[in-house]
């Protein structure tokens, strides 16, 4: 009995000792965490000053997503023998020049994706990867400053596809107007004089026109986080059927050595593209702008993120 009591007492004493040690360590760690936060705050403040300096600022980040599967004799599903997969890649790059009296901002967005589903029991099935997403956009904005927040500006923006039907259609916006930069990383472009050139073999659907161009771009890096949202909108003065917009949101979180997790989400509305697609169906699902189903176009990509 004495031995049992002694062992129990020693165990309780050790547990209490360890508890004290853990509490002491946590108490010792708390002020160090505060010191790290204070140091990071000073580093961020210095980085903000560096970002505000004149000169070129360049960078890029994007997302790579892939999913590959192979099934053999998996009878629980409709196609027990199949091979499937999807691969997606996005790139967001920029090169911005900031000077005392002017600025020049250049950006690029690329989104490419491929998918396949091969039913091995169907010899007529297509076993190759097919194009799923194809977006290519470059833009260049020059501004002559009137003040720190306002500038007279000119914009050139080109949008098309790369994998197929390059420049068919292709959209080239050229316009002039004003640019507002209310905060460091936000740029709002309002160009009431803008011509939207549309290049396509199908002149019966696609048409160039004069209109207004509105662009809002917010690009920022906070520590390990890269974030970019870009809205590009054209409002035709001739007809609402010729108007369009594209809104792309990209997010990346760096975990190690420039590699992390990424997410990109895009929205687009373009009635000319909707009608062109409908007329190319067999049978055609629309005859004109009046009866076409202009559904919202979307894409989502989640995968590994890279930044440099």
Distances (CA, A) of 158 to 61, 152, 155, 197, 260: 20, 21, 10, 9, 30
Instruction: Note the pLDDT of residue 52.
Output: 65
Give bridge partners of residue 218 from the DSSP assignment: 186, 229
pLDDT at 232: 96
b/e per residue 30-49 (b: at least 16 CB within 10 A): eeeeeeeeeeeeeeeeeeee
Q: What pLDDT sits at residue 196?
A: 97
- What pLDDT does 83 receive? 85
pLDDT of residue 14: 52
pLDDT for res 17? 52
pLDDT of residue 1: 56
- pLDDT of the chain along its 308 residues, tens only? 555 555 555 555 555 554 556 677 677 777 766 666 677 667 766 766 666 667 898 888 888 888 778 888 776 777 888 888 888 898 989 999 999 999 999 999 998 989 888 888 888 887 788 888 888 999 999 999 999 999 999 999 999 998 888 898 999 999 999 999 998 889 999 999 999 999 998 888 999 999 999 999 998 888 888 889 999 999 999 999 999 999 999 988 888 887 888 888 999 999 999 999 999 899 999 999 999 999 999 988 888 888 77
Q: What is the value of pTM for the model shown?
A: 0.78
Distances (CA, A) of 130 to 62, 116, 172, 276, 307: 22, 6, 27, 20, 27
């Amino acid at each position: 009995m004495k031995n049992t009591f002694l062992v129990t007492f020693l165990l309780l004493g050790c547990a209490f000792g360890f508890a004290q040690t853990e509490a002491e360590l946590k108490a010792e760690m708390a002020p160090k965490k505060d010191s790290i936060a204070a140091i990071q705050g000073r580093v961020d403040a210095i980085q903000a000053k560096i970002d505000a300096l004149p000169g070129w600022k360049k960078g890029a980040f994007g997302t790579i997503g892939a999913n590959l599967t192979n099934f053999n004799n998996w009878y629980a599903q409709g196609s027990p023998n199949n091979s499937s997969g999807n691969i997606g890649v996005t790139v967001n790059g920029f090169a911005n020049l900031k000077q005392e009296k002017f600025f020049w901002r250049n950006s690029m967005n690329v989104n490419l994706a491929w998918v396949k589903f091969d039913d091995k029991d169907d010899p007529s099935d297509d076993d190759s990867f097919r194009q799923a997403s194809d977006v290519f956009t470059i833009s260049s904005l020059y501004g002559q400053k009137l003040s720190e927040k306002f500038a007279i500006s000119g914009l050139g923006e080109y949008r098309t596809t790369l994998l197929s039907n390059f420049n068919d259609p292709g959209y080239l916006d050229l316009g002039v107007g004003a640019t507002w930069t209310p905060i460091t990383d936000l740029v709002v472009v309002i160009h009431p004089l803008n011509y939207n050139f549309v290049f396509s073999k199908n002149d019966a659907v696609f048409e160039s026109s004069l209109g207004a161009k509105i662009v809002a771009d917010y690009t920022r890096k906070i520590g390990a986080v890269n974030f970019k949202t870009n809205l590009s909108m054209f409002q035709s003065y001739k007809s609402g059927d010729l108007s369009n917009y594209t809104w792309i949101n990209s997010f990346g979180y760096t975990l190690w050595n420039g590699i992390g997790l990424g997410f990109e989400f895009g929205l687009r509305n373009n009635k000319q593209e909707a009608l062109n697609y409908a007329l190319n169906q067999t049978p055609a699902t629309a005859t004109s702008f009046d009866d076409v189903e202009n559904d919202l176009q979307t894409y989502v990509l989640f995968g590994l993120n890279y930044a440099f």
